[in-house]
Each structure stands twice: as structure tokens, then as C-alpha cells.
Structure 1
Amino acid sequence: MLKYYFLLGLRSLRRNPALTALMILTLAVGVAASVSTLTILHVMSGDPIPHKSNRLFTPVLDNGTTKGYVPGAKPGDTQLSYTDAMNLLASKQGERRAALYGVEMAIEPARKDLGAMSSAGSAASSDFFAMLDTPFLYGQAWNADSDTKAEDVVVLGRSLSEKLFGNSNPVGQSLVMIGHQFKIVGVLDTWEPSPRFYRASDAFGVYDQFFIPFSTAIRHEITHDGGMSCSGGATKPGWQGRLESECTWLSFWIELKSPSQRQDLQAYLDNYAKEQYKLGRFQRQAKNQLFNVMEWLEEAKVVGNDNRLSAWLAFGFLLLCLVNTVGLLLAKFSVRASEVGVRRALGASRREIFTQFLIESSVIGLVGGVLGLLMAFGALALIAMQSKELTVVAHMDWEMLALTFVMSICAAILAGLFPTWRACQVTPAIQLKSQ
């Protein structure tokens, strides 16, 4: 019987085609608007590394001066100074430790058809790759010895590798970067964590095209690509002055074997801050903080209140579309009062009438969902064209794909409840007399 009602629902689409098309379009526009906004919010607020996000921690240490400081206030920056990053690297805390910062470097391809180009990447210590479980297409990461010697080695991202070398394996070849020969030791497979939590200050920027050793970037005095705060006091001129300063510009992550070791790491940070205070640093004596991945994304406000407000407004628009759909369904079902009266007189129960009309509403929701899905893809494509940052988040995954269909059908059923109930209240005797 349900199959029969479903076929009736398909046939009903041809009744009052203009009214039916308006209902489908209204529902599709509401679903597309809400799903597009929800998709972006979903991508932005998702867990980028769910299997170990509760074991990866970033420390926040306040090395600012006491001038103008209000006790209890949050530090002006959540990055670390070079001094603190190097001390934590040498601390042997946790299973792995990684210091990193964003860099932009000039590349001179060996291919004659390609001119010099500028590419963005990260300078990171060797534990970075194992810590974040980066997949390799060719080769492997450099080792700790390369970190110690500050060797000129590089791991390419897949897109940059294919651009420079095609589909061939470039491991072992050299690449001229900032005027120096860098040996290619590995090529990452497609790896696009979203959001890019390890650099939360640029969480939705263009994905890194290459990685070089942190120590190598320091040796070549490669300036950082990102924000920097110097609230810790005046700095000396030059690169060495920056390294010796209290300016914060480095990201730092620690991987623990188990989340239960968090308290031990916190105790270490507290003792470290006390030692630095005795050395004349950390004069604010502020609370030292640890954040796992999801806590860090919340602290860094990767998903702002304006993003959540946009999602609520989109759902408000969907609600408005539902109200309009209710009115259209009332108009559509009201002209079928005589049909309902005849069916009731022939023995059909109110439950059967209710089921039939509700399934017809579901069919409208299904068609509206397909159209809404196409419109959502179009909307996301237009959003992605606005900037490189939006390209990272404006894409639909299978979860949102399924949600689109469920949302459209549920919306149609919700909109059809009242019109369907009204259709069931038809009195057969009155309708038969009017014929």
C-alpha cells in the first residue's frame, strides 16, 4: 500500500504543476541555504584528527611584562617565543614534540617551461610528521639528525610535486629554494586536515605546499609567514635579536602517550615557569595553560560567533520557507476535498487518507531535496570562488549529503502535517451533496 501511495504522490506532481513547482522551489531554496551554511560550519568545527585529538596538546605561556597587565587577563598571544620553543623541544616531555612556523619561499624549478614561483609551507621539527600521521606518497620524513645538522632537505606536498615533476618520483632530486639546493626526501600524499589546527592563526589558509626542517629555516634566517606579538618587551635589531627576544611567533605541539599524562605535563609547565621567573622572565606569574586540539580550536575562536549566527539565520530562512510551503500545501489539498469525500464514502479510513497525503508531501520533499542539493553544490561553488580560504571549507562531504535528503524530507513532512490533518477532516456527506 505504501508503494501505491508513493506512486500516487509521483502522479500528484503533475496536478497543478505551477503550484507544485512553487512548493518544490520554495523548499529547495530553504534547504540549499541552510545546508550550505551548515556545511561550512560543519567543516570549520569538525575534529581534524579524531583518533588522537585528545593526546595532542599545545602549551600557552605568558612571557609578557607587568606593564599595564591586569591579573587574570589572557595572554596577548597564544604562540611561543623561540627561547621557550627550544627549551620545550629539549625537555623530552611526551612521546613527540614539534615546533613550527609558516614560511614562504621562492622556488626555481628545473623545468624550463616553469618560471620562478613563490610557495607557502611550514618549517617544522622532524616529529611533526609522525605526530600528525601524515601520509607519504614517496620517500619519508627527514630524521632527527637532519634537524640537528640543519640540513637543506624538503618534503613536498603532492600538488607541488606534480606541478614541478609530473607523476614521477622526485625523491633524491634537488630543488632550488631561496637560492639554495634542497634535497627532496619525501612527497606527502593528499593531506588536508580541516581546520589546519597546527597553525590555528591561519586555520583555513592554503594548505602547505612543502615542509623544511625548523632548524634549517632558523639557520637561513627565513622570516615567518604569520602573526607575531612582542608584548614581552623591546627587541634587539636583526635576526639574532628576534631569537633572543620575548616575541611570540612559533606554534608548538606535544603528543602524549595517554590523555591521563596531561596533569604531569601541566606540572612540568608550572615548574618551568617558576624557573624562568627566577631567571627574570615570566614576571606576570600568570596561569600556564594546556589545550588539546578541540579545546585549542575553541580557544583560538576558529569558529566565531558570526559563523554560528549565520547558521541560525539560515535555519530561520528554512523555517520561513516551511511556513510558505504549509500555505501552498493547504491550497493544493483543499481542491481535492471532493476526492477525499468519495474515498471516505467508499470506506477509506482517516488514517489511510492521512498516510496517503503525508507520503505525497514526502515525495515533494524528496524532489525538493534533489533540487536543493544541486542548488547547495552551486552555492558552495560560488562561495569557494570568493577566496582561497573559503575553498578549504566550502565543500560537501557524505554526512552533509545524507543530511540534505533527510532535512528536505523531514521539512516536507513537517510542513505537510497540518494540511494533511485538515484534509482528513472532510465530511463525506457534505462533499457528496455538493457534487
Structure 2
Amino acid sequence: MFQYYFLLGVRSLRRNPVLTALMVLILAVGVAASVSTLTILHVMSGDPIPGKSERLIVPLIDNGPLKGYTPGERDGDEMSYRDAVNLLASGQGDRRTAMRGASGTVEPARKDMPVFTVEGLTPTRDFFAMFEVPFQYGGPWSEADDKAGADVVVLSSKLAEKLFGNANPVGQRVRMFGFDYSVVGVFGKWDPVPRFHRIIGGPGAFGAEDEFYIPFHNAVRHEMGQNGNMNCSSERGPGYQALLDSECVWIQFWFELHSVSDRPQLQAWLDAYAAEQRKLGRLQRNAPNKLFNVMEWLEEQKVVGKDSRLSAMLAFGFLLLCLVNTIGLLLAKFSVRAPEVGVRRALGASRKDIFTQFLIESAVVGLAGGILGLVLALAALTLIGSISEQIAVTTHMDWMMLLVTFVMSVSAAILAGLLPTWRACQVTPALQLKSQ
């Protein structure tokens, strides 16, 4: 019976083609506006590293001065070099990494290529396993290179191709920042969205991918300048060593826990560490030490802003307005079929049969609106993505959003068809037969 009613619904699309086309277009526009904004919101608020996000933890220690302190406020979301080194040596968690941004010049060996600027990151070795960075060639640097801050580099596939073509560059040397670095690896396409590890001190949650990675201690050994956030609420002396000894916060830190149940243990250790540092005259604010997993970190950094949520709400408001218009058009469409309903009722069709038939016809209209809405949504996302590379990474529709498009369209059409369908069921057969 469903198949029969469905075929009737498909045939009904050819009745009053102008009215039907108008309904389909109204639904399509409403669905496209809602789905395109929902897709962007879905990507922005999605889990960038599923299965591991609860075990990757950002610790925050407030080491600011007591003078001028307002409880609940903090000077930055990074930590000092002293704290970063202590946490690296703590042995807590399965893995640990400290990182900071870096930028500088590359001097290609090719004479036909000018000097150019690159931006990247200076993590410790555990970074690659923690964040599941895929390698196209080679791999991470060794533990010995990590501790020594050796002149080794991992290049992005784009930078490697730019410098060495399609050849495997592992073992080659590239001059960066005025030093010769040995290429130990090339990482493939790795572009988590949002870029949770680079929200602060870098291109942001939706910025461009890193072009290289060099050891954290290498950047310190070469006294590289800071590329990213730095907050110095206390005075420090001149020179690079004074920066390392200062309370300036400029380094981001991550732990990887073996399991989620290890989080209370890490919190206890961090509290004990802070208490020990206070005995040494530091951390005088005595502010709570905080831990954030990946999703909590995205929320803390307000990756999904109020304007994004407001846009989604306005889009759904527009869809509601489209539903109101669709209800009016369905009422007009079904009202002219009152004689047909009267005849069917006189021949023995129940109100339930009429209700089911007309509701399925509404669903067919919704399905047609979903197909057109999907086309319009993809066009809208393409147009939005062309504005900038940062926005482009949020405009990719996945299978879930494809399914949502059709569910939303059909559900909206069924919802809009409830009142017209109910009205159609109230037709009195005797009155319709007398009028014929």
C-alpha cells in the first residue's frame, strides 16, 4: 500500500505543476539555508580526533603576579618555559609534548628559487604519536635528537615537493633560519578540523597547516624568536636566558593519558607540583590548576562563537517561515481535490486511508525539495568556501549532513502537511457528491 501511495505522490507532482514547483522551491531554499549553516556549525564543533580526544589533556597553571590579580582571571593560556620543562620531565601520562610556533626563511639549494618564509611548530618527539600525524616518508626524529635539540626537520608534503620535487627527501639537507637541517621525515595530509593543537599561538582553529616541525629544544638552542602569543605580566631581564628563567607564558603543553580514569591522578600530581612551586616562592595567586580535554579545550577557547550559533538559529527560523508558506500552498493544493476525496470516501476509503495517502504525497514533495535543497546547499557551501582558506575547511559536507538534508526536508514537508491532510480528511462525502 505504501508503494502505491508513493507512486500516487510522484504522479501528483505533475498536477498543478506551478504550485508544486513553488512548494518544492520554498522547501529547498529553507533546507539549503539550514543545512549549509548547520554543516559549518557541525564541522566547527566536531571532534577533531575521535577516540582519543578525552585522553589528550591541556594543563593550565596560573603563574601570574599577585599584584593586580582578580580571582577567576588569568594572563594567558600557555605556560612558562620553566613549567614546561618540569612537566616534560614529570613522567606523567603516556606521552607529553611542549610546543611553540616558529617562522623564518628557507634558502633553497635551487638557484631558480628565491628565499621564502615558512611557518611551523617546534614540538617534542611525542607530538607525532600523540596527534597521530601520518608520514609519507621517514618518521619522527629520535629521542637522542629530541633531547639534544639536533638540527633535524620534518617537512610537510607540500614544502617537500616544493623543495625536492617528487623524490624522497629523507637524508637531504635544507637551509632554514640560517642553519642546515637534515630532513628525517615528511608528513602527509594531516589537517584536523578544528586544528585543536594550534588554537593559540598559531594560525588558529581553522588556519593553514604547519609547513615544518623542528625539535622544541632546537628552537631554544638557536634562541629562535617567538612566533605566537607571549604574555609577560612580570618584569624580566634582557637576553634570551632571562626569557627562559622568567614567568612569561608562551609555551603550550599537552599530556596523553593511558585512559580517562587517569585524569584524577594527573590533577592530583599537578596540584602537588603547584604546592611545591609555591614553597619556592612561585605561583602566589594560588589559583586552581585546570585540565581540559580536547572538546573542553575547544569550548574554553570559544572555537564556536555566538555568531555561528546565532546564524544557525536564524537559518532554522527561515526554514520555519518556509514551512508556514508550504502549509498554505498544500492547503490550496488539497482543497481542489475535495471532490476526489468525497468519491473515495463514498467508495469505502477510510479517513485513515486518505490521511496516509496525502501525508505520503507531502513526503514526496519533501523528498523533491531535499534533492533540490542539497544542490543549493552544496552551491552555497562552495560560494562560502571561496571567501577564504580558513572558511573553506568548514564547508565540507559529510555523509551525516547528507542524511540530515533529506531527513530535514521530508520531516518538514510531513510537518507542513499535517494540517492540510487533516482538513482533507474532514470532507463530507454526501456534500461532495451532491455538488457534482
Q: TM-score range by the shorter chain?
A: over 0.9
CA-CA distance at 1:110 after TM superposition: 4.1
Matched-pair contact (CA < 8 Å) for 1:80–1:252: yes
| Aligned twin of 1:52 | 52
| Aligned twin of 1:388 | 389
Deviates more, 1:415-424 or 1:173-182: 173-182
Amino acid at match of 1:122: L
Runs of 5+ unmatched residues, structure 2 = none
Deviates more, 1:122-131 or 1:347-356: 347-356
After TM superposition, list the pairs within 5 Å mapping 1:406-421 onto structure 2: 406-421=407-422
Task: Summarize the Cα distance change of 1:260–1:386 in structure 2 as closer, same or farther, 3 Å threshold.
Answer: same
Amino acid at match of 1:365: G
| Aligned twin of 1:62 | 62
Runs of 5+ unmatched residues, structure 1 = none
Task: Summarize the Cα distance change of 1:421–1:113 in structure 2 as closer, same or farther, 3 Å threshold.
Answer: farther
After TM superposition, list the pairs within 5 Å mapping 1:240-251 onto structure 2: 240-251=241-252
Task: Summarize the Cα distance change of 1:112–1:434 in structure 2 as closer, same or farther, 3 Å threshold.
Answer: farther
The 3-state SS of whatever aligns with 2:64 is coil
Amino acid at match of 2:255: I
The 3-state SS of whatever aligns with 2:97 is strand
Deviation sequence 1:86-142 (CA, Å, 0-9, x none): 111112211111001122232334455644332322110000011112222221111
Q: Distance in 1 between matches of 2:328 and 2:231?
A: 57
Q: Distance in 2 between matches of 1:26 and 1:98?
A: 52
Q: How many residues get paired? A: 433
After TM superposition, list the pairs within 5 Å mapping 1:1-150 onto structure 2: 1-71=1-71, 73-111=72-110, 114-150=113-149
The 3-state SS of whatever aligns with 1:184 is strand
| Aligned twin of 1:302 | 303
State, as a whole percentage, how many aligned pairs show the same letter: 64
The 3-state SS of whatever aligns with 1:104 is strand
Task: Summarize the Cα distance change of 1:237–1:17 in structure 2 as closer, same or farther, 3 Å threshold.
Answer: farther
CA-CA distance at 1:238 after TM superposition: 3.5
Task: Summarize the Cα distance change of 1:166–1:424 in structure 2 as closer, same or farther, 3 Å threshold.
Answer: farther
Q: Distance in 2 between matches of 1:24 and 1:163?
A: 49
CA-CA distance at 1:160 after TM superposition: 2.9
| Aligned twin of 1:168 | 167
Matched-pair contact (CA < 8 Å) for 1:199–1:251: no
| Aligned twin of 1:179 | 178
Deviation sequence 1:28-72 (CA, Å, 0-9, x none): 11111111111111111111122122211111000111111123x
Task: Summarize the Cα distance change of 1:237–1:332 in structure 2 as closer, same or farther, 3 Å threshold.
Answer: farther
The 3-state SS of whatever aligns with 1:267 is helix
Deviation sequence 1:172-214 (CA, Å, 0-9, x none): 2222322322222112222121111122222221122221111
Q: Distance in 2 between matches of 1:428 and 1:168?
A: 81
| Aligned twin of 1:353 | 354
Q: Distance in 2 between matches of 1:392 and 1:223?
A: 29
CA-CA distance at 1:294 after TM superposition: 1.5
Matched-pair contact (CA < 8 Å) for 1:125–1:214: yes
The 3-state SS of whatever aligns with 2:98 is strand
- Is 1:315 aligned with 2:319? no
The 3-state SS of whatever aligns with 1:248 is coil
Deviates more, 1:199-208 or 1:359-368: 199-208
Q: Distance in 2 between matches of 1:160 and 1:413?
A: 52
Q: Distance in 2 between matches of 1:417 and 1:165?
A: 64
Amino acid at match of 1:34: S
| Aligned twin of 1:227 | 229
Matched-pair contact (CA < 8 Å) for 1:41–1:311: yes
Q: Distance in 2 between matches of 1:409 and 1:418?
A: 16
Q: Give the TM-score taking structure 1 as reference length.
A: 0.95
Q: Distance in 1 between matches of 2:104 and 2:415?
A: 55
Matched-pair contact (CA < 8 Å) for 1:109–1:176: yes
Task: Summarize the Cα distance change of 1:120–1:145 in structure 2 as closer, same or farther, 3 Å threshold.
Answer: same
CA-CA distance at 1:158 after TM superposition: 2.7
Amino acid at match of 2:256: E
Q: Distance in 1 between matches of 2:109 and 2:32?
A: 46
| Aligned twin of 2:220 | 218
Matched-pair contact (CA < 8 Å) for 1:206–1:392: no
The 3-state SS of whatever aligns with 1:393 is coil
